[in-house]
Structure 1
Amino acid sequence: MIVSRIATALLLALLLPVAMFAEENRPVIVCSTTQVADFARQVVGDRMEVKCILAAGQDPHLYEKKPGDAQLVSTADLCLENGWHLEGNDWMQKLATQTGRPIVTCVKGCRPLEVPGVSEAMHDPHAWFSCTNAAIYVRNIRDAVIQLDPEHADEYRSRSALYLDQLRTLHSWIVREINNIPVDQRVLVTSHDAFNYFCQAYGMKSATPVGWSTGKEVGAGITPQRRQETIDSIREHQVKAIFVETSVNPTMVREIAREAGAKIGGELYSDSMGAPDTAGETYIGMMRENVLTIVQSLK
């Protein structure tokens, strides 16, 4: 018995450094946003280490690079960003360029919506709110990962195929849930223009007092005219509830709700997913919880 225990202990002692070495030498993917990071984890499993610059609840429009970000990106074998200027002032592109790391823009291949109310043509960057677009993100990540590690290509394809099936199921479920809202009540009023793709995909109308960005970029910042238009729209459609967002200050929306005679229907995940151990910590969880909140408040 004693000999057996000693042999087991010796075997573990020999294997532990090997396991630790394998863990330390996994390829590293550094992502800009929480959604992109979740997509990457679905594709790579434990084959690669996925890190994210943004934390839950942080706004990619307003994020300013920190001293440690360049060091983190410099460790990456691959960088992933959303693109279309979601990352304010293109901070992820700049970090990748600064450190000489390869970067993939996940929104590539999505059919863009144009940002409303601006003089120059700009793509709305919140494309992931359509499950169809989310599937494009996943395929872009899958292809980039296979190029990085072709030896395990079949594994990445299999994981991606399973997750793409889940996204198709999610899409069908959202359509059924939104159908529970009376057609004339399908107006989604939120803090900023994050939900245009969602509304287009699932038969709702979007209304917001600001623009696509919460920062100082094109379309950002409330004007008295935009504020009044939003209030008038809420009254015209007799909207029951409007919504705040987890990554945006809710003060303005609460004031508009009070003035328009609507209630706050709840908090929606928008530019960032939920914190670990919350219902919205994954993309599917985030979308599920958003839809349940919207339907319960508007039906």
Structure 2
Amino acid sequence: MQNSGTQIFSWTLGRRAAATVLGAIALGWLANSCRTTPVQTGNSEKPTVVATNTILADLTQQVGGEAIALVSILKPGDDPHVYEPVPLDTQRLEDADLILYNGYNLEPGLIRLAESVGVRGRRVAVGEVVPPLELAEEGSTVPDPHVWGDAQNAIHMVNAIRDELIRLSPEDAATFTQNAADLVATLERLDGWITQQIQTIPPSQRQLVTTHDAFQYYARAYGLTVLGTLIGISTEEQPSAQTLQRLADAVKAANVPAIFAETAINPRLINTVAEEAGVPLADAELYADSIGGPGSGADSYIDMMVANTRAIARNLGGTPGDWP
């Protein structure tokens, strides 16, 4: 995966005089400085695709492969809810031939930036191909952006990415189509595997308590109940002392085996809930809004879902098996 805004240029130079070479380079630089769409012939420049978060970046890389130059704005562990764009992000968005973002206000800072700068690339809210769950928030309802929690939704996202890449680079359609088909087949297996692991949890213990409300799609798809969360959809929220106490009381009353911290959020407050309720904090944190870094065992969307499922099943009293 390419993690910088630098585009890849391929130059093939024959045996020419030095002056001719320099002239060709100068003309090439001028053409690229004025170009508004990528040249898509032969071994020329790959189209640049910007993904706003790590989950989208991973799925896009698996579909696009070597045919695209991928830039992921967020790094593993970054929280898209609270990410504040930096000046380099403006350049990345302006230079992109295609911008893929989740939508449903998952990455508000980057969405505002993309709407305000002079982007030339097509902008696509990939997560919005999925009809959202509507969650109550401050007296109204808002769409839940965490659509990837259901592997079937991830399949819809992969198909949308495939279609956008084909639109961007039609001559690579066969590559994108095959890569997407391979990934969809794996996601179908993942979907069935997750269901099997959650079913090993005793029915009365299939209750999930997490730091923020990011697992509704997962719970609905795989037979869990979200008993409660410390904060709502966005990690920007700050829970009150009353919220902490209400959640602790609910956890204690439901006899939940364990509750879960998340990798991108300070565990201090959810640990307070665990202590108040007299239940353990799970032995592994969940990946909610980002894949893990290299060596984490969760450094792809699929590995993230496997790691979360194994942690949930194990800590709620199930007996998860290995991912094949």
1:133 paired residue among 150, 153, 165: 153
Q: Which amino acid in 2 is paired with 1:296?
A: R
SS in 1 for 2:177: helix
Output the CA distance in 1 between the equivalents of 2:116 and 2:176: 27
Q: Quote how far apart the aligned CAs of 1:247 are.
A: 1.0
1:109 paired residue among 117, 120, 129: 129
Q: Contact 1:93 / 1:103 at 8 angstroms: preserved in 2? A: no
1:293 paired residue among 305, 308, 311: 311
Say whether 1:214 aligns with 2:215. no
1:81 paired residue among 92, 101, 117: 101
For residue 156 of structure 1, what is the aligned residue in structure 2?
A: 176
Q: Which moved more, 1:24-33 or 1:125-134?
A: 24-33
Q: Contact 1:273 / 1:282 at 8 angstroms: preserved in 2? A: yes
Q: Contact 2:80 / 2:106 at 8 angstroms: preserved in 1? A: yes
1:68 paired residue among 88, 97, 101: 88
SS in 2 for 1:50: strand
Q: Which amino acid in 1 is paired with 2:311?
A: T
Q: Contact 1:280 / 1:286 at 8 angstroms: preserved in 2? A: yes
For residue 3 of structure 2, what is the aligned residue in structure 1?
A: none
Say whether 1:31 aligns with 2:51. yes
For residue 229 of structure 1, what is the aligned residue in structure 2?
A: 246
SS in 2 for 1:115: strand
Q: Percent identity?
A: 36
**In structure 2, do the counterparts of structure 1 residues 191 and 174 end up closer, same or farther at CA, with 3 Å as the change threshold?**
same
Gaps in structure 2 of 5+ consecutive residues:
1-9, 14-27, 29-41, 318-324
Output the CA distance in 2 between the equivalents of 1:70 and 1:125: 23
For residue 120 of structure 1, what is the aligned residue in structure 2?
A: 140
Q: Which moved more, 1:24-33 or 1:34-43?
A: 24-33
For residue 172 of structure 1, what is the aligned residue in structure 2?
A: 192
SS in 2 for 1:275: coil
Q: Quote how far apart the aligned CAs of 1:230 are.
A: 1.4
Output the CA distance in 2 between the equivalents of 1:150 and 1:172: 33
**In structure 2, do the counterparts of structure 1 residues 131 and 65 end up closer, same or farther at CA, with 3 Å as the change threshold?**
same
For residue 246 of structure 1, what is the aligned residue in structure 2?
A: 263
Counterparts of 1:260-279 in structure 2, within 5 Å, are 260-265=277-282, 266-279=284-297
SS in 1 for 2:129: coil
**In structure 2, do the counterparts of structure 1 residues 214 and 24 end up closer, same or farther at CA, with 3 Å as the change threshold?**
farther
Q: Contact 1:211 / 1:221 at 8 angstroms: preserved in 2? A: no
Q: Quote how far apart the aligned CAs of 1:24 are.
A: 7.7
Output the CA distance in 1 between the equivalents of 2:80 and 2:313: 27
Say whether 1:196 aligns with 2:213. no
Gaps in structure 1 of 5+ consecutive residues:
1-15
Please report the RMSD computed on the Cα atoms of aligned residues, expressed in angstroms.
Answer: 1.9
Q: Which amino acid in 2 is paired with 1:92?
A: I
SS in 2 for 1:121: strand
Query: How many pairs does the alignment contain?
Result: 278
Structure with the higher fraction of residues in helix conformation: 1
Counterparts of 1:52-67 in structure 2, within 5 Å, are 52-67=72-87
**In structure 2, do the counterparts of structure 1 residues 292 and 240 end up closer, same or farther at CA, with 3 Å as the change threshold?**
same
